[in-house]
Chain A
Amino acid sequence: MEIKGSVALVTGGGNGIGEAVVKHLAKHGAKVAVVDMVQKNIDRVVKDIKEMGGEAVGIQANVTSEADTARYIKGTIEAFGQLNIAVSCAGIIRDGMMLTLDKETGKVSRKLGLDKWQAVLDTNLTGTFLTMRDAAEAMVNGGWEGLLVPISSVNKIGQVGQINYSSAKVADALMPKIIVGEFLMRGIRNIRCVAIAPGYTATPMLTGMNQEALKAILEDVHLGRLVAPEEIASLIGHCIENQALNATTIEITGGLCYPKGIAK
């Protein structure tokens, strides 16, 4: 599938990886729907695309809402007449250990709250499911060629302090196998699914963290720096154009290793 002339919808398109994906696709001739919760981020990105001479529509929405999902899918088709690419970049973190012990008594003093668990599962897993499901529905009913791109994470392997995030991201990474398998069973041959699992990426969330902690993380990255959001966007662009990429999850980490050099 060619990027030029296609229609893409990117959740979390107002900043970070999502913004880079939106701009990459617009730069290469795609019409894009920027979906985000923060209106001022939507405005900034749509304005940038306008200045690039591109075509964009901005839709403020919450990906955990079924009604909002239906609204931004419908809005994209209303604006551009079709939908070919859906990328679910919207994601949050609410880190914490499952149990915290009292140093003096050794007893549990705090548990990870259900609010932190549920919020991360709702956005990172349910939100991704809803976007993939409704985008696929629109593509099938419209008869349009398509690519579904759930965004997973290298932390799908299980990161301490992220039982909520890792649980959601490992489930996101499974989606391509299941979705494409079901498409095959149903005779749907023109829609592919490829998940992307980024490593530590130079998004506002990460560049704003404790710089000492960031330095320690980078010591385990073979590349020696954070992955740029534009590099992830470029990979998604390649996934769109390379039809053989399907039913898989691709890691893009810069060579993230465990201490002592074992690649994750």
Chain B
Amino acid sequence: MQNIFYNDMQFSVKPRGERWDITYSLPNGSSAIAGAGLFAGLPESEAGARALALIKTIFPVGIKTVGPDVTHPNTIGDLKIIGPDVTHPNFIYWNKDSVSCPREL
């Protein structure tokens, strides 16, 4: 069995017969299966390398930014009006002033 620590996540590559299973720990303490029955016949070192490559593909490290909705601009003549992406789940309609930064009248 091999343990791989990657991007703050703990993965285990365990043999099952001639194949390999990849499991990982979830924040709540339980475990999830990333793959089952993979890399048939490969030795442990090779299976570990293949598992790491797969993990890096499935769980990439990066920052996802949520910007304005550039896909659906409204146009007035040649002018593109780009509004916020109101369909995004993180979009919040503010109907009152911020407490920490109140509007100055």
Contact = CB atoms under 8 A, between A and B. Distances in A.
A75 B58 contact: yes
A224 interface: no
Interface residues of B, number: 20
Contacts of A55: 19, 36-38, 40
Nearest to B22: A57
A59 B58 contact: yes
Interface in B78-105: 86-87
A53 interface: yes
* Chain A interface residue bracket vs B: 20 to 34
A39 interface: yes
Contacts of A56: 35-37
A82 B45 CA distance: 22
A50 B58 contact: no
B35 A46 contact: yes
Given A71-B58, A118-B72, A119-B87, A57 B35 contact: yes
Nearest to A73: B57
Nearest to B35: A57
Contact of A78 (B19, B40, B54, B72): B54
Nearest to B34: A58
A49 interface: yes
Given A39-B32, A115-B86, A119-B87, A79 B72 contact: no
Contact of A75 (B21, B37, B54, B86): B54
Does more than half of chain A's interface fall in helix, strand or loop, or is it mixed?
helix
B53 A43 contact: no
A39 B34 CA distance: 10
A32 to B, nearest CB: 10
13 contacts: A43-B32, A43-B33, A46-B35, A46-B36, A50-B16, A50-B33, A50-B37, A54-B37, A55-B37, A55-B38, A56-B35, A56-B37, A78-B54
Interface of B: 16, 19, 21, 32-38, 40, 50, 53-54, 57-58, 60, 72, 86-87
Given A55-B37, A74-B57, 5 more contacts: A53-B37, A56-B36, A114-B87, A118-B72, A119-B87
Interface of A: 39, 42-43, 46-47, 49-50, 53-59, 71-72, 74-75, 78-80, 114-115, 118-119
